Chains A and B, each alone.
Chain A
Amino acid sequence: MNQIPEIFRVIPVNNFVILAVVLFSIGILGVLTRRNAIIIFMSVELMLNAVNLLFVTFSSYKSDPTGQVFVFFIMAIAAAEVAVGLAIIVMIYRRIRSTDVSLLNNLKG
């Protein structure tokens, strides 16, 4: 109990955290700079997976299974989100023959 697993003596826990933070930042940059709905969506998935990595790391570092259970919840719900999200993107593609979000300008004030 509470013994730090072997792997973290080889690769320090900080490395995992830094990797996750880098992945998350790439995701944020993607959401903020890209104009293609599918790529924005991929960036969101990248952010979710960075979070998953973070949860798994902390979970094994602390020898506590709750974090890994949470990862299953995140994956299941991300799948539901993708199903709905792609349906919406397909609906829009059928209308404007493009997935470029800057073409969507019906609404502005």
Chain B
Amino acid sequence: MLTITFLSLLGLVLLFLGFAGKVGLVKNLAALGVLASLGILLFANQDALVPAGMETQLLFDANSLKFSALILGFSVCIVMMSRSLVKKENVQAAEFLSVMIFSLVGALMLTAFTHMITLFVGLEILGISLYILAGTLKDSPSSNEAALKYLLMGAFATCLVLFGMAMLYGATGSLDFKEIAAVGNQSVDSVLFKLGIFFLLIGVLFKVSAAPFHFWSPDVYEGSPSIVMLYMSVVVKIASFAALFRIFGGYFHHLSYFWWGIVYYGCIASLLVGNLLALVQKSIKRQLAFSSISHTGYLLFAILVVNNEAIAGGLVFYLFAYGSALLVAFSVMNSWFESSENYQLDQLKGAAKADPVGATVLALSFLSMAGIPLTGGFFAKISMFAPAMGDGLYHLLIVGIVSSVIGAAYYFKPIMNVWFSTEEATIENATDMKWVAMVGGLVILITGLFPDTLTSILAMI
């Protein structure tokens, strides 16, 4: 709660500093402020300063602290990387950064809600801020288009979530997830209850862009500025999975009779659609958008397994490995294509000659996303597959392993272009923010060689 209050105030302060014209101060304060909020999250008592009546609305338990720490940790890096975007013409630094910080408020609420009102408000704070962020580049037709598509699809998904909530409210007479789950045991035959769970699940699957509800995400990801795309595929993915896991891995876990089948087929569809369509893309952003759909599939394993207490750690590990790999890939590509928002695979050709260090780190991050041993992504995949093996979900495992192999094929394309092309480099190679890539590359290696370090750090939170 303290973190949420702090972030809201920080966003307001930045907005007013922007009005006063102190842009340089805004950029530094934004990164420092998010870092400070991470400190508050980890070291302050979250129950302090909770307004009366809010105790039943938000509850920071061990899982939500982990997810929130991941969200804020990645956000610090993304806020620092967004310098290259906010120095462009027509982008208001203060507005961009404060809207991003407001959206973090929504993301944190999604990790800690206990009540439908907080879930809805969190979803919408995150969603509405993202519609604005996706349209940041007012002069770019694709950014405009991404904003409109995201708005229409996001609002539609919100309506589905709300309709499900209304049905559940009608069936149980309560908006508190714990009470609904308790009543749910007795009202197994209620049509309202079934419909409620169905619509809630479909709406949330829309938000995490699981197939077959994924069709908006490649367009939105490709059209948005690359920093915003990074933010969507890392921070927003963590937040929406935290929400999905909290509802269906937590409160409604014992009601799996209602939702297990939908998640199961959604998981298989996401794995296949994401990996197969990523094979034929020419744009890196679009390829990563489809790869993000396939990672949604791997992450859905965590919702499907029976022992969900144990897999929470695996889910956090996976999100960390995926997020750090994407962060590294984008920080390298951001320095290579500083003036362009349109990343094509062909543009990477010969990049290793111009910037061998960046090319190494980029290759490492793609290997980690593919799940090759000695990188963090390998253990992340193991942490999803092993519990599914324990539950005897062999068909799902076979689909998962086959699609990882397909995945390796398209993750190798950019690596091949960077390292084994005879053409001359066309990249710009700015030195800005190289250290994020270096540190990130090191993190990928450390999590790959000694996964226990990360696990024990996460256990301390």
Chain A interface residues (CB < 8 Å from chain B): 17, 20, 24, 27, 31, 37, 40-41, 44, 47-48, 50-51, 54-55, 57-59, 61-62, 64, 66-67, 69-70, 73-74, 77, 80-81, 84-85, 88-89, 91-92, 95, 101, 104, 106-109
Q: Count chain A CB atoms within 10 A of each CB in B131, B142, B173 and give the residue with the most.
A: B173
**Cβ–Cβ contact A80 & B135, under 8 A:** no
Closest to A43 in B: B156
Q: Count chain A CB atoms within 10 A of each CB in B117, B151, B219, B223 and give the residue with the most.
A: B151
Closest to A86 in B: B151
**Cβ–Cβ contact A55 & B152, under 8 A:** no
- By secondary structure, the A interface counts as helix
Residues in A neighbouring B146, C-beta threshold 8 A = 107
Known pairs A88-B151, A107-B222. 8 more at Cβ < 8 A? A20-B166, A37-B148, A50-B163, A58-B166, A73-B120, A81-B124, A81-B155, A109-B218
**Cβ–Cβ contact A67 & B169, under 8 A:** yes
* Interface status of B403 (Cβ within 8 A of chain A): no
* Interface status of B355 (Cβ within 8 A of chain A): no
* Interface status of B408 (Cβ within 8 A of chain A): no
Residues in B neighbouring A80, C-beta threshold 8 A = 124, 128
Residues in B neighbouring A67, C-beta threshold 8 A = 169, 175
**Cβ–Cβ contact B155 & A54, under 8 A:** no
**Cβ–Cβ contact A104 & B145, under 8 A:** yes
Q: Tell me the bound Cα distance from A109 to B283 in angstroms.
A: 9
Residues in A neighbouring B218, C-beta threshold 8 A = 107, 109
A66-B175 CB under 8 A given contacts A88-B144, A88-B148, A107-B145:
yes
**Cβ–Cβ contact B117 & A85, under 8 A:** no
Q: Mark B173-211, 1 if CB is under 8 A from A, else 0.
A: 111000000000000000000000000000000000000
A88-B159 CB under 8 A given contacts A40-B152, A70-B175:
no
* Interface status of B81 (Cβ within 8 A of chain A): no
A85-B166 CB under 8 A given contacts A47-B159, A77-B121, A109-B218:
no
Q: Tell me the bound Cα distance from A73 to B165 in angstroms.
A: 13
Q: Count chain B CB atoms within 10 A of each CB in A64, A81, A109 and give the residue with the most.
A: A109
Query: What is the CB-to-nearest-CB distance from A78 to chain B, in angstroms, rounded to a whole number?
Result: 9
* Interface status of B281 (Cβ within 8 A of chain A): yes
Find B121's partner among A50, A73, A108 (CB 8 Å cutoff).
A73
**10 A-B Cβ contacts within 8 A?**
A27-B159, A48-B159, A54-B163, A70-B117, A73-B120, A81-B124, A92-B148, A95-B141, A104-B144, A107-B145
How many B residues touch the partner, as a band?
35 or more
Find B219's partner among A57, A95, A107 (CB 8 Å cutoff).
A107
Residues in A neighbouring B120, C-beta threshold 8 A = 70, 73-74, 77
Closest to A27 in B: B159
Query: What is the CB-to-nearest-CB distance from B9 to chain A, in angstroms, rounded to a whole number?
Result: 19
Q: Which of B120-151 contact A (CB under 8 A)?
A: 120-121, 124, 128, 131-132, 135, 138, 141-142, 144-149, 151
Chain B interface residues (CB < 8 Å from chain A): 116-117, 120-121, 124, 128, 131-132, 135, 138, 141-142, 144-149, 151-152, 155-156, 158-159, 162-163, 165-167, 169-170, 173-175, 218-219, 222-223, 277, 280-281, 283, 286
A51-B163 CB under 8 A given contacts A37-B152, A104-B145:
yes
**Cβ–Cβ contact B144 & A109, under 8 A:** no
**Cβ–Cβ contact A109 & B277, under 8 A:** yes
Find B131's partner among A37, A61, A84 (CB 8 Å cutoff).
A84
Residues in A neighbouring B286, C-beta threshold 8 A = 109
Closest to A58 in B: B170
Query: What is the CB-to-nearest-CB distance from A39 to chain B, in angstroms, rounded to a whole number?
Result: 11
**Cβ–Cβ contact A91 & B135, under 8 A:** yes
Closest to B283 in A: A109
**Cβ–Cβ contact B175 & A31, under 8 A:** no
Residues in B neighbouring A77, C-beta threshold 8 A = 120-121, 124, 128
**Cβ–Cβ contact B162 & A64, under 8 A:** no
**Cβ–Cβ contact B131 & A107, under 8 A:** no
**Cβ–Cβ contact B163 & A47, under 8 A:** yes
Q: Tell me the bound Cα distance from A80 to B127 in angstroms.
A: 11
Residues in B neighbouring A40, C-beta threshold 8 A = 152
**Cβ–Cβ contact B222 & A95, under 8 A:** no
**Cβ–Cβ contact B148 & A44, under 8 A:** no
